[in-house]
Amino acid sequence: MIMEKSKVLIVGGTGYLGKRLVKASLAVGHQTYILHRPEIGLDIEKIQMLFSFKEQGAHLVSGSLDDHQSLVNAVKLVDVVICAISGVHLRSHQILLQLKLVDAIKEAGNVKRFLPSEFGTDPAKMENAMEPGKITFDDKMKVRKAIEEGGIPFTYVSSNCFAGYFVGGLCQPAQILPSKDSVVLFGDGNTPAIYVDEDDIAMYTIKTVDDPRTLNKTLYIRPSKNILSQRQVVETWEKLIGKELHKSSNSKEEFLAIIKGLSYAEQVGLIHYYHVFYEGCLANFEIGNEGVEATQLYPEINYISVEEYLKRYL
Ligand SMILES: NC(=O)c1ccc[n+]([C@@H]2O[C@H](COP(=O)([O-])OP(=O)(O)OC[C@H]3O[C@@H](n4cnc5c(N)ncnc54)[C@H](OP(=O)(O)O)[C@@H]3O)[C@@H](O)[C@H]2O)c1
């Protein structure tokens, strides 16, 4: 018997990750619904993106996070809800708005699975994170609590570092293009982190939708070729350009001192870099019974390696 693919609603479908989730959902053949919020108003880029998705077969559903009934109506159309609402302070941080979506899912009562906006470090592992960066993890955990208390089936996606943010700039904050001259390392630069191309994150996420192995689990995306220290990312780039970069470094203490003078949003972001590149919070634990690993579940996905990713900048 061929199982029909779940209908999927994507909230935040015009976002940096959200638009990739829409594309992956359509590519896999799910009936794909996208929440079209009236608040986007005259944002021509978003409107055009939404209508280009419609041309590709997506359904646009009108609804607002401030209009409970519209959310309930939207949720009732589908089996699975994926939220990719913003969660980067330097852009916008709206993670707690998802509590309204959780209320709507509870009331609608038909949703087989909810994937909240996580897509980064596993917040369950970050209860001792430093302020002010901790807010991101705390807010994501508040959403998890509401989901689990509401008895909503879930999958949490821990996708580690977005390649565009981290690989492009050789892991340096506020840099998204690789220098051909110099690089500043976090300490000795030897702490392993994990990098995943954003389109791959979207595809792994969509693969979980009808997969019983990922129900009520955390999906960790750990492509083995992409578990690399900052120094290894830099060496990969050096090999590609045939030149060694000049290297300097910041000790932990120097890095924390630099952060102190920055804006709140910058501090939040840089504390995340601190936990990743000085403490190794992405790769310093084994996946337990609460989790599954994406490249093992879906070996058919030919993920982009860090080396391939960097080639685009040559
Ligand atoms: N691991 C990493 O390296 C990394 C990097 C970046 C982000 N992330 C995570 O990825 C997730 C998505 O982030 P993103 O950068 O893709 O988000 P984004 O592009 O900044 O925003 C995504 C969408 O959020 C919706 N949104 C924004 N403000 C809203 C509001 N006031 N009310 C309702 N909806 C609003 C909008 O959707 P619509 O206009 O379509 O409704 C927007 O397009 C977050 O959880 C974030 O923490 C992880």
Adjacent-strand bridge partners of 164: none
Q: Whose CA is nearest to atom 1 of ligand 1?
A: 120
Phi, psi of 202 (to 5 degrees): -60, -45
Percent of the chain with pLDDT over 70: 99
Cβ within 8 Å of residue 292, ≥6 positions away: 213, 214, 217, 218, 219, 220
Instruction: Judge whether 145 counts as a catalytic residue.
Output: no
**pLDDT of 2 over the 70 cut:** no
* pLDDT, tens digit, 9 for 90 and up, residues 4-27: 899 999 999 999 999 999 999 999
Q: Please state, in angstroms and rounded to a whole number, the distance separating the CA atoms of residues 160 and 193.
A: 8
**CB atoms near residue 22 (< 10 Å):** 29
| Contact between 26 and 98 (Cβ < 8 Å) | no
Residue to mutate, 44, 81, 86, 96, ligand 1, most ligand atoms under 8 Å from C-beta: 86
pLDDT for 124 equals: 98
More confident residue, 176 or 2: 176
* Residue 26: its H or E element: helix 18-28
**pLDDT of 160 over the 80 cut:** yes
Find the 181 Cα to ligand 1 centroid distance in Å: 33
The predicted model gives 228-234 an average pLDDT of 98
- Using CA of residue 307, residue 252, residue 198, residue 206, what is the dihedral sign? positive
Catalytic residue among 140, 145, 247, 260: 140
| Cis-peptide, bond into residue 223, ω within 30° of zero | no
- Using CA of residue 311, residue 192, residue 172, residue 264, what is the dihedral sign? positive
Residue 223 DSSP one-character state: -
Average pLDDT score over the chain: 97
The predicted model gives 220-229 an average pLDDT of 98
Q: Is the pTM of this model over 0.85?
A: yes
* pLDDT, tens digit, 9 for 90 and up, residues 233-246: 999 999 999 999 99
* pLDDT, tens digit, 9 for 90 and up, residues 273-282: 999 999 999 9
Answer yes or no: is the C-beta of 221 below 6 A from any ligand 1 atom.
Answer: no
pLDDT for 90 equals: 85
Residue to mutate, 14, 17, 37, 114, ligand 1, most ligand atoms under 8 Å from C-beta: 17
Query: Taking phi first (over 0 means left), then psi (-120 to 50 degrees means alpha), and beta for anything else, what does residue 91 get?
Result: alpha
* pLDDT, tens digit, 9 for 90 and up, residues 73-104: 999 999 999 999 999 888 889 999 999 999 99
